[in-house]
Amino acid sequence: MADSQETLLQKIKDQGDLVRKLKAAKESSEKEKKTNVGYNLEEINKWLSQCSYICGYTPSTSDIELFNYIEKNLNIESYQYIKRWWYHMRSFSVSEISRFPKNKPPIIMNKIPKVNTNTLNEQIQDEVAKLLALKAQLGTEDTSPQKFTLKTPKGTRDYNPQQMTIRNDVLQKVITVFKRHGAECIDTPVFELKEVLTGKYGEDSKLIYDLKDQGGEILSLRYDLTVPLARYLAMSKISTLKRYHIAKVYRRDNPAMTRGRYREFYQCDFDIAGQYDMMVPDAECLKVVTEILDSLDIGKYVLKVNHRRLLDGMFEACGVPDEKFRTTCSTVDKLDKTPWEEVRAEMINEKGITPEAADRIGEYVRLNGSTELVDRLLQDHSLTAAKPSVDGLLGIKLLLEYCELYGIKDKVVFDLSLARGLDYYTGVIFEAVLTQPIKIGNEEQTVGSIAGGGRYDNLVGMFDAKNKQVPCVGVSIGVERIFSVLEAKLAAGEMQVRTNEVDVYVISAQKNFLEERMKICNELWNAGIKTEQSYKKNPKMLTQLQHCEENGIPLAVVLGESELKRGIVKIRSIKARQEVEVPREKLVEELTARIAELGKVEQNGQ
Amino acid sequence: MADSQETLLQKIKDQGDLVRKLKAAKESSEKEKKTNVGYNLEEINKWLSQCSYICGYTPSTSDIELFNYIEKNLNIESYQYIKRWWYHMRSFSVSEISRFPKNKPPIIMNKIPKVNTNTLNEQIQDEVAKLLALKAQLGTEDTSPQKFTLKTPKGTRDYNPQQMTIRNDVLQKVITVFKRHGAECIDTPVFELKEVLTGKYGEDSKLIYDLKDQGGEILSLRYDLTVPLARYLAMSKISTLKRYHIAKVYRRDNPAMTRGRYREFYQCDFDIAGQYDMMVPDAECLKVVTEILDSLDIGKYVLKVNHRRLLDGMFEACGVPDEKFRTTCSTVDKLDKTPWEEVRAEMINEKGITPEAADRIGEYVRLNGSTELVDRLLQDHSLTAAKPSVDGLLGIKLLLEYCELYGIKDKVVFDLSLARGLDYYTGVIFEAVLTQPIKIGNEEQTVGSIAGGGRYDNLVGMFDAKNKQVPCVGVSIGVERIFSVLEAKLAAGEMQVRTNEVDVYVISAQKNFLEERMKICNELWNAGIKTEQSYKKNPKMLTQLQHCEENGIPLAVVLGESELKRGIVKIRSIKARQEVEVPREKLVEELTARIAELGKVEQNGQ
């Protein structure tokens, strides 16, 4: 049945020729048809549906022309593939665009050909598929190097050993604090049924990563750790839990990687679920944040606190209609980055709030202080006429009392402009903000918000068939921003990290000592000593010593023929460049003692 | 422009009525049309294209009838939605299917209605959409509980605190060994450009999870940690690295969760990249596996080793044509689960190997032993006539010598039936297998393969533009199987875990002591002591003591009015149920000493 090898090779050659001819035909057809001017969006959309941007697609002059034209003149909302192209174009920075070759022939669009090149394209695809099928019959895979640009997906990155060391150190400090407060650890799958995430994130839902429907359940990557926690509590019928969860979450946002904003990033969450007395768990969340930020030692910060009920009462008092509370809230949330005048304009023009109401809100959101501000507002009868205001104010007052007992009141600011975007908060909300830019080398880096959270009493009930509620409060630490600060310090030479923990390197000065080295390594490993050796049979002495210095390995065992005959090995202290002789059988004992000594010195040095 | 609240509510009511009427019409139309017999796959396929399986779809009798009928009589390969339904049906276990209600009316298929219920369905969808749009105008989200079955995606699970404790303990032991051998840690994104994974996994590629094309790059979830490592090395132009990587990988396989086979699961990989002398890094990988399995203490095991070059030489010597080496290899790989007769039949009938060649292979793959077997095979001239055989045999011989030096030769078996499925291996291959079932309660659990790996010298080059190779060898530890064994032991009461590390619980016997408790907690936290208290204002004494006992908290601070007046607090030892009085200002000091003491006892107890 199957073709002979020879026949197959001939068929592959013929098929290859056919594909090349078709491609040439397509190319010349494209060259001819560049007479059309103006843009037919329908045609362009069809055209772009066949275009892939993965293989290192570089925009042509025409692409840039069209991009600029669309920006000013056209609405592309209903053209799926133009939109995809548009997002791709937008991902280039201005400086990148300026470097695109100006005279490159247009490769994608503008001057859409009038002959149906689509047919030609489809034909090419078909024939290429046949060619591949033939090659597959040959049983040999195409082993030539990949043609696409080698990169990690947009907004993601690899962590190299230095970055991992920084990351693990930071996470270890965070975990230490979580455990100090008795939190247990849980984990959930990286994806959830899409329905689990639906309707939880308001406008941000468009940033959720969906998985392809490959026949089976419809899935999405988790967007945060709070909704999976709520799903977990409802599904497992758990009504009290103090847990931490450290894991990556996924958002199709526009990444700003140098500032620690990625599409794949870590969240470190601490949450307390259960029906408890007012503000007791809430105050502990604030205490946890201060302990973490203090232990990371990244500068001065304030903890802004506010209350969703107070915001509701304030909006009511200012004359904002009920159904506009949420949308007004998300406008207020922009106050940390946007001046009041712009926020006011958005309220009036986009959200339909009256100028009078906006101005009254403006007076409130400018306020911040502490207990004395709570007391003053409790006397503000137009505010306290709204019941939610009173709830919120009394809540904040109690929270501040507990913060006093926890010794953190000086770090807490009651700030009426704090709103937080997410829909699910119902009580106290808070955010930790660094108050000074961090100096790295000669540059200053503004970090801003570094932790945030609040109370969400209704989220678990959304997952429960009987709508049974489990009140929750929690906080999320923005460790990516901390990583990026520390990485910048590392790059500026302001800190050093060791990426391995090896204590001993086994060295030989002479040739043919591999077997002897292996025996020693085996002994040391069996004794639990972190040990390495060269993987070369006859490495050079200098190379081996260099390896120790470059990797911060403190000790070396040096093997020599004459010493071994005497039953002796040498231990070398790398920094001091000193060697001492020890009896072969005392080696493990001696090394163990020296390593313990080094550990003590290191601990005292910290 | 907008409707008044009242008008809107009326509209919503009307629209709701319309939807209900349409649904009723559809239902009765479906009931009427159950006269048709026999299966029209075209129609069923169309019908199933509208069916979602997420909302807790329970198969009807008709579903099961059709399922059984298809299994015996029909080819559904070209019907996309029938296949999806088929996979869903297959996911139910036999015992689950036996529990399905027998008399439930058929809800999906068989007796396909002749009237176009599709139109009715579309109409319903449209009207439901309108209803939702109206509700959205109302500005209130539908906060009624979710209708879909609450679950994690198929083949995945949450880890509760006990499971996390087990998982973290196992991973910690694995990491300890990796670090003892000087490995550095890296991490890569959970997804890769789809092209990175293409052509690396042979037949298994169909198990890769793809992400939905949401405009941008085409992405897939990582399938293992080896291909991302190769991509990382090529992209970062790194030619030597000893790294470990512990992370979750994703495979759309048929899960067998009780045996630790999931769609989302952990891999713990240790790899050595670089141009080194033969078998030196390879032998260290085997040493690492033994250290890990010994430290996990999960029973006796053997390390099977073989060599891809030897397999090639053996196939050549037996008369298998070159182009069939790989496919024959994956057939041989089944020998661990399948008797030789079946494997032989597959070779002859499916892979087109001659019976004579198959029988000659059969003689070789039955062999296993150690150095003496290598020596015997080196005398087998029909085998050594093929150059690759000699390379492979000499490689194995050297590896066994190094294993002797590393003190693990008694655990290593040279086994000619070991083949390993993945395409990318080029040299030594190995697998660790538990030799005894593990006894848990009265049941025995067979675990089988628990670690595997090998040398892959050509993978990095596939990613390099100039095809520059970086030779690599590595091993992957199958920790999920270890987790599942330990979890079964936990469930059988054969082991215990503590899910928190709290040392001190702050208790008060009287009412209104919350503030005093808070002050003490604050002091203890600030001193780094792991401390908890009740989040209730006035918890009961008994409840507090129970909490300590249930959570294994060893110490409690007990506050009482009369003692506080005397400047005294009590420290209670929970297990011993003994209390001692200490001066308030000595509390931290005293607790620190006791906790250190407890730590020592625990260490000695291990």
pLDDT in tens, B337-366: 888 999 999 999 988 999 999 999 999 999
User: Using a CB cutoff of 8 Å and minimum separation of 24, what contacts does A394-399 make?
Assistant: A395/A278, A395/A279, A395/A307, A395/A309, A395/A310, A395/A427, A395/A428, A396/A305, A396/A306, A396/A307, A396/A310, A396/A428, A397/A371, A398/A278, A398/A279, A399/A279, A399/A282, A399/A283, A399/A286, A399/A305, A399/A428
CB contact under 8 A, B407 and A168: no
In angstroms, rounded to a whole number, what is the distance separating the alpha carbons of residues A112 and A34? Answer: 7
Lowest mean pLDDT among A385-399, B283-297, B370-384, B456-470: B456-470
Mean pLDDT of B396-412: 97
Span B457-505, pLDDT tens digits: 999 999 988 889 999 999 999 999 899 889 988 888 888 899 999 999 9
Predicted pLDDT of residue B142: 43
CB-CB neighbors (< 8 A) of B152 in chain A: 188-189, 192-193, 235
Predicted pLDDT of residue A148: 63
Look at residues A369, A381, A327, A334 and name the one whose alpha carbon lies nearest to residue A350: A327
User: Residue B108: pLDDT above 70?
Assistant: no
Structure token pair of residue B265 = 């699961």
Interface test with A, best of B55, B84, B211 (most A CBs within 10 A): B211
Look at residues B59, B81, B405 and name the one whose alpha carbon lies nearest to residue A513: B405
Tell me the CB-side half-sphere exposure of residue B421, using CA atoms within 13 A. 10
Structure token pair of residue A60 = 């042509």
User: What sections of B33-187 are H helices per DSSP?
Assistant: 41-48, 61-73, 80-90, 94-98, 117-138, 161-180
In angstroms, rounded to a whole number, what is the distance separating the alpha carbons of residues B374 and B393? Answer: 6
Predicted pLDDT of residue A117: 46
Name the maximum alpha-carbon separation found in chain A.
Answer: 96
Q: DSSP strand E in A412-487: where? A: 412-415, 428-434, 438-440, 443-445, 449-455, 472-477
- Contact residues, B window 547-606, toward A, CB-based 8 Å cutoff: none
Q: Give the residue carrying structure tokens 């053996």.
A: B314
How many C-beta atoms surround the C-beta of residue A318 within 10 A? Answer: 22
Across the A:B interface, residue pairs with CB atoms under 8 Å apart total 310
Confidence of residue B569 (pLDDT cuts 50, 70, 90): very high
CB contact under 8 A, A535 and B276: yes
Predicted pLDDT of residue A72: 63
Tell me the CB-side half-sphere exposure of residue B494, using CA atoms within 13 A. 12
Residue type, A30: E
Predicted pLDDT of residue A576: 93
In angstroms, rounded to a whole number, what is the distance separating the alpha carbons of residues B132 and B125? Answer: 11
Helix (H, G, I), strand (E, B) or coil at A120: helix
- Contact residues, B window 263-292, toward A, CB-based 8 Å cutoff: 264, 272, 274, 276-277, 280-281, 283-284, 287, 291
Regions of chain A short of the pLDDT cut 70: 1-5, 27-40, 43, 46-62, 64-65, 68-69, 71-74, 80, 87-123, 125-126, 129-130, 132-148, 258, 603-606
Q: Are A399 and A473 in contact (CB under 8 A)?
A: no
In angstroms, rounded to a whole number, what is the distance separating the alpha carbons of residues A146 and A55? Answer: 10
Q: Give the residue carrying structure tokens 């009961």.
A: B540
Span B508-563, pLDDT tens digits: 988 889 999 999 999 999 999 999 999 999 999 999 999 999 999 999 999 999 99
User: What values do phi and psi take at B553, rounded to 5?
Assistant: -75, 120
CB contact under 8 A, A145 and B277: no
User: What values do phi and psi take at A528, rounded to 5?
Assistant: 80, 15
Helix (H, G, I), strand (E, B) or coil at B412: strand
Predicted pLDDT of residue A494: 87
CB contact under 8 A, A216 and B53: yes
- Strands B531-533 and B504-508, how do they pair? parallel
CB-CB neighbors (< 8 A) of B277 in chain A: 514, 535-537
Interface test with A, best of B184, B249, B253, B517 (most A CBs within 10 A): B184
Helix (H, G, I), strand (E, B) or coil at A212: coil
Predicted pLDDT of residue B123: 67
Predicted pLDDT of residue A229: 97
Lowest mean pLDDT among B95-99, B479-483, B496-500, B600-604: B95-99
Mean pLDDT of B360-389: 95
Instruction: Check if A243 contacts B (Cβ < 8 Å).
Output: yes
Report the residue of chain A nearest B287, measured CA to CA.
A522
Report the residue of chain B nearest A280, measured CA to CA.
B535
User: Residue B196: pLDDT above 60?
Assistant: yes
What are the structural domains of chain B? 5-138 (no CATH), 155-298+473-498 (3.30.930.10), 300-435 (3.30.930.10), 504-605 (3.40.50.800)
Look at residues B222, B258, B242 and name the one whose alpha carbon lies nearest to residue A248: B222
CB-CB neighbors (< 8 A) of A194 in chain B: 54
Predicted pLDDT of residue B261: 80
Report the residue of chain B nearest A160, measured CA to CA.
B186
User: Residue B141: pLDDT above 60?
Assistant: no
CB contact under 8 A, A218 and B152: no
Helix (H, G, I), strand (E, B) or coil at A306: strand
CB contact under 8 A, B462 and A143: yes
CB neighbours of A301 closer than 8 A, spacing ≥ 6? A293, A411, A432, A433, A434, A435, A450
Q: Give the residue carrying structure tokens 């202080």.
A: A369
Pick the more confident residue, B226 or A149. B226
CB contact under 8 A, A212 and B214: no
CB contact under 8 A, B217 and A187: no
Interface test with A, best of B88, B142, B168, B193 (most A CBs within 10 A): B193
How many C-beta atoms surround the C-beta of residue B494 within 10 A? Answer: 12
CB-CB neighbors (< 8 A) of B144 in chain A: 467
- Strands B443-445 and B449-455, how do they pair? unpaired
Confidence of residue B413 (pLDDT cuts 50, 70, 90): very high
CB-CB neighbors (< 8 A) of B187 in chain A: 158-159, 164, 167
Predicted pLDDT of residue B137: 57
Note the pTM of the prediction, 2 decimals. Answer: 0.76
CB contact under 8 A, B83 and A280: no
Lowest mean pLDDT among A29-38, B301-310, B315-324, B564-573: A29-38
In angstroms, rounded to a whole number, what is the distance separating the alpha carbons of residues A194 and A196? Answer: 5
Beta-bridge partner residues of A590: none
Predicted pLDDT of residue A137: 58
Helices A587-605 and A514-526 pack at an angle, to 10 degrees, of: 60
Buried b / exposed e over A326-349, threshold 16 CB at 10 Å, is bbbbbbbbebeeeeeeebbebbbe
Predicted pLDDT of residue A133: 63
CB-CB neighbors (< 8 A) of B472 in chain A: none
Nearest-CA distance A107 → chain B (Å): 18
Beta-bridge partner residues of B474: B271, B454
Instruction: Check if A148 contacts B (Cβ < 8 Å).
Output: yes
In angstroms, rounded to a whole number, what is the distance separating the alpha carbons of residues B307 and B334? Answer: 16
CB contact under 8 A, B210 and A209: no
CB contact under 8 A, B180 and A248: no
In order of A536, B17, B274, B468, B470, the CA distances from B239 in angstroms are 15, 69, 6, 10, 6
Structure token pair of residue B107 = 């809800």
CB contact under 8 A, A193 and B138: no
In angstroms, rounded to a whole number, what is the distance separating the alpha carbons of residues A188 and A222? Answer: 9
Predicted pLDDT of residue B558: 96
CB contact under 8 A, B139 and A323: yes
In angstroms, rounded to a whole number, what is the distance separating the alpha carbons of residues A353 and A98? Answer: 42
In angstroms, rounded to a whole number, what is the distance separating the alpha carbons of residues A548 and A546? Answer: 5
ipTM of the complex: 0.76
Q: Are A530 and A504 in contact (CB under 8 A)?
A: yes
User: What values do phi and psi take at A136, rounded to 5?
Assistant: -60, -40
CB-CB neighbors (< 8 A) of A191 in chain B: 153, 156, 264
Residue type, B561: E
CB contact under 8 A, B53 and A217: yes
Could you say which of A217, A236, A532 has the minimum Cβ distance to residue B153?
A: A217
Report the residue of chain A nearest B190, measured CA to CA.
A264
Span B22-68, pLDDT tens digits: 777 766 665 544 433 356 677 677 666 655 454 345 566 667 667 76
User: Residue B233: pLDDT above 90?
Assistant: yes
In order of A141, B192, B264, the CA distances from B198 in angstroms are 11, 10, 20
